Structure formats: structure tokens, C-alpha cells
Amino acid sequence: MTSVNRPGVGRGHAGKSGSVRSVNFATSPLLASRTPPWRSRFVLLLVGLLFMGLVGRAAFVQIYKPGFYQQKGEVRFVLKETLAASRGRILDRNGALLAGSVQLPTMLIDTKTFAADSQQRKALVRLLGLKRGELEDRLENAKGTLVLRRHLEPPLWEQIEALGMKGVYDLPEFTRRYPEGEAAAHVVGFTTIEDVGQAGAELAFHDQLLGKAGARKVVRDRLGHVIENIDEPVLPTQGADVTLSIDSRIQSFAWQRVRDAVKTNGAATGSVVVLDIQTGEVLALANYPSFDPSDRKRLRGDALRNVAVTDVFEPGSTMKPFTIATALESGRWTPNSRIDTAPGRMVIHGATISDSHPHGVLSVAEIVQKSSNIGTVKLAQQMPAKDLWAMFNHVGLGQKPSLNFPGLAKGKVRPYKTWRPVEHATMSYGYGLNASLLQLARAYTVFARDGDLVPTTLIKRDPALGPVAAGERVMSAQTARQVREMLRLAANPGGTAPLAQEKTLGYSVGGKTGTTRISGKGGYTNRHHGFFVGLAPVSNPRVVVAVMVSAPTKGKYYGGDIAAPLFGEVMQQTLRLMSVPNDMDVKAQISAKPAVAEPESI
């Protein structure tokens, strides 16, 4: 080993080559120093160990634990997206669309890759209508993916895409559309932005309408565009459709007319319920004020209340036919039995009950026609309170309707054992109990169906079940027909609602008015509810319509003046759309002189 470093050997080797000889290696201190022989071996060993380490690490990553690192890598460029499921449609009985879903882009920002210059940011703020500093605040507080705006209209999204910002992409989502707008809002209801039913049919049939979301993995480029799908996507399952009993044509007409009635009379609210008495199907359920279910920013306030089914009120004289029916069922009276109502006033335990004016002696039929409180009370006083209570109970008052619909009011009819004499009297003409307009409409089906009470439904009836739904027997067919004739008298000259017949061209109608004072904290106020509930055609009833106009302020407040005309217009249009044959001469009706309504007792 010492011979390698001998000077003589070095010089002799250099002397054999002129090119080598010209370089003096010995002048470098580094080369001239002694190099331990183990150093080269150590360096070689170290390089070998590092190489083996890299090989081992690669084997560990790629063979023993590839999933973990693959997942970490995918987080940076692979996105797992939810594929939204379309909510089922809500259709009317004829297949017309009441509620449906449309797919719109939702704008997302990947905060890790987002890049936009000041001009792009200003343009984005302008397009989205954001407040000053709102975009920066949201970006600063966000981690990962930021949902900047949901359900953008396609033209707006195209303008945002054209800005060319990095890290901005869209996720298709569904949102609801309601073609009938305010007209059917209380029937259809609305959903949250997350497609969760909140009211009406959207809430009642939420589970059926709701679909099942899918999923997919995608690779996006720096601008947010999908460049590759990873694996097979799990496709969404669409929600099932729901077909309602509502006829959108009748619904729209009823809403327009109740809107006009509320505005004309300066009223607070108005409601209409239309029932097919053969099937119990709800053909229309309209309220005013209403709301636009597509405008989520304004989904608040009293306009959201479905007054026809959620609100209860004292029904007043609309209950008199049921008191009269109870009397006829007892067998002690007939429609021609005479009752002395003079002098038109009576006092019961300090409470005064009166008619609008003295009527003298009236037949039982005329008590309904003239809407006499005194005549009704005198009949009720001669009947057990239990019998009246049973009649009210049998027609569904004080019970929650079986209709599958949210917010249904139960109403209240106190147990007959608690009735004092004055309550026994006032109950007979509709004070001291309360009910919803829907309950009243259903109750009147007993007169239209010859004593049967029909169950109501908001779902279109299966034709295979037959044209007529089975009802519950409440009274005899004879009693129902006798009361129906009394209702016809009430809607004609000499009754409290001749306007109901005048407005129903081509069809005979029967019904009963109701006018009640609205109660407040200190007792009854000077504000009123005006009602009319009736049926047509009288000879072979097909439809029941119940109408309420609440708190009018322009002078008129009797049910015969503000509710009966609305009833007539809705009834006439409904029967026409259902192709029900006329049973009256239209020309004779038009040429007849306008009749004056009998003042109603309140």
C-alpha cells in the first residue's frame, strides 16, 4: 500500500506522457493529503443504504399501503360529488303540473385553488349582487369548498364562467317551480332550498315525493372543468309523482274570484272550498291573500296561513240546517210545523237573543229561509242537548278531518253535559262552537248525498273504485231532502241569499248564509265573518261549495251580500267545467228582476 504513494513512482509515471507531465498534481493540498482507505468504502456503503431505503420506501408505498397515499393524492385533484335526485312532480287530476323540479347550477369555489384578479372579482360581485366586502369575507372564513350561490339561472352562470376564474365550478342541483303560482300555493305548499317539504302537499307527501341522491368521483382541471370520471357513478333515484284531486282550472277560477271579493269588500281574508259530493274529492281550496311559493325570500307572514283548513270560527247561521234536521229526525216536527217567533226577541238567563226583525209565525222551512234565530232556539229548547251535540258530532265538527294534509284544525264542540241553557240556545244557531271552512263544506255533503257524510280526500280517486265513494249514514234520506228544499228557498227570493241563485246561471242552488261577529279579547267586536255554504243542482246535487269573506270594511258584511255572489260564480263555473247538465233556463234567469235579500239575524 505504501508503494502507491511513493514520489518516485509518481514522477516516473508522469514522465512517460508529455500531457500528464505538464500538470503538477502535487501542488493541490487536497490531492496531496493522505486519504484513509475506509472513507471510500463508507461512502459506497452509505450510497447503497440510501438506495435500499428508497427501494424499501417505494415498495411500502406501492405494495403494502397504496390506498392511504392514493387517497391523499386524490384529495388534491379528485372530487366526490353528490348527484341530486329530482323530487317527484305534483299534478292536478287532469295531469296539469302544479309543482315540478328544474336543474340549475350551484356555484362552488375551491378555496385552495381559487384565483381571480381584481377585475374578475369586481365583475363577480356585480353579477351576484353581493355587498361590498362580502366576497372577501366569505372566502376568508371558508375552508375547502365554498358554496357561493345556489340555483343560478343559466344565463347568469354563463356570464360567470366567461370570467375565466380558477377554482370556480358548478354543481347541478334541483329546485322547485310552481306554474300556478299564488292560485294553488296553499294546496301545493313549498319546500326549503334543500328540497324539504314545508307546507301543503309538499309536506303531506314529502316521503313519496323525495328521491334518493346518487354520487360520482370526478377529476377537475384548474378552471373547475370536469376532465375525467372515476369509477361508475351511482345514479340518483327520482321521486314518485303525486296526483291530487284538485282541478287546476277550478282552483284558478276560485282563487281569482275570492281575490276579487276580498278587494271589493276591503276584507282581511277570503276562502273557498269546492267538494265533489260523489267522491269526496277536494276540487279547489283557495285563499286570499296568498303567496308565490317560488319566491323563498317572501315566504313569511299571515299570507302563508291556509285559512280554509287551519283557522276556526263560529259558523253562525250555517248551523241552523243541522238543528232543523235534528228536529225533523225526532219525528215531532215537519217542514210545515208552525213556530211563533214573535216578538222577535227573547231573554235567556240575562242574555238577549233576537232576529233581524220580527217574523211572527213561521213554518219550520221558513225558519231556515228567513234565518230566524228565535225559531231555531225555540225548536232547540224542546230537544235534549245530547241530540244536538250528536248531530254536530256525526257531521264531523269537533273532530280532526281524516284528510292527509298538514295543519288541519279540529275545531271545538264542548260536551253537551257542560251546556248551560243559554249555550244550548246559542249552539243551535252557530255560536259557542267553532269549525273550519273545510269542516263546514264536508258537513253539508249530508244534505247533498241524501243523509250520507262523504270522507274527503286530496288525492285523485282511483276510477277502479267506482264513481261514488261510500259514506257514513247521519240522517234519513227523507230528512236530507226536506232540508235541501229549505236550502233552495234560502237561496231564492224571500230568502237571505237570492244572489247565490242569480249568479249561478243554468243551475238550481240551495244553501245557507252565515254572518257572525268576530270575537276579540274583550268580547265580540264590530267586525264580521260572512259565509255561504251550498250545493247544486238541487234536483241532483253534484258539488258543495263553501265560501267565507272575513272582516269586510266597505259597508256590506252579511253573508248574503258578500259571500253568496262569490259562491254563485264559483259554483256556476265548476259545474260547467264538470259538464254537469243545466237544470234551469238561463234566459229566464237573466231576464228575471233582481231579488232583495232577507236581512239575516246575527
CA dihedral in degrees (224, 226, 229, 232; nearest 10)? 90
CA distance 490 to 53: 103
Average pLDDT over residues 218-235: 66
Cβ within 8 Å of residue 159, ≥6 positions away: 127
On the question of pLDDT at 484 being above 80, the answer is yes
On the question of pLDDT at 427 being above 90, the answer is yes
CA distance 348 to 425: 8
The structural domains of the chain, with segments of one domain joined by +, span 80-243, 248-295+303-591
Whether the Cβ atoms of residue 284 and residue 180 lie closer than 8 Å to each other: no
Give pLDDT, residue 220.
Answer: 61
On the question of pLDDT at 1 being above 80, the answer is no
Average pLDDT over residues 57-77: 62
Q: How far is CA 471 from CA 261, 278, 454, 522, in A?
A: 33, 9, 4, 42
Residue 457 cell numbers, joined: 280526500
Q: Per residue in 71-123, pLDDT tens? A: 555 555 566 767 778 999 999 999 999 999 999 999 999 888 899 999 999 99
Q: Which of 14-18, 153-157, 240-244, 400-404 has the lowest mean pLDDT?
A: 14-18
On the question of pLDDT at 31 being above 80, the answer is no
The CATH architecture of the domain made up of 248-295+303-591 is: 3-Layer(aba) Sandwich (3.40)
Q: Per residue in 299-349, pLDDT tens? A: 888 899 999 999 999 999 999 999 999 999 999 999 999 999 999 999 999
Average pLDDT over residues 216-235: 67
CATH class of 80-243: alpha beta
Catalytically active residues are 317
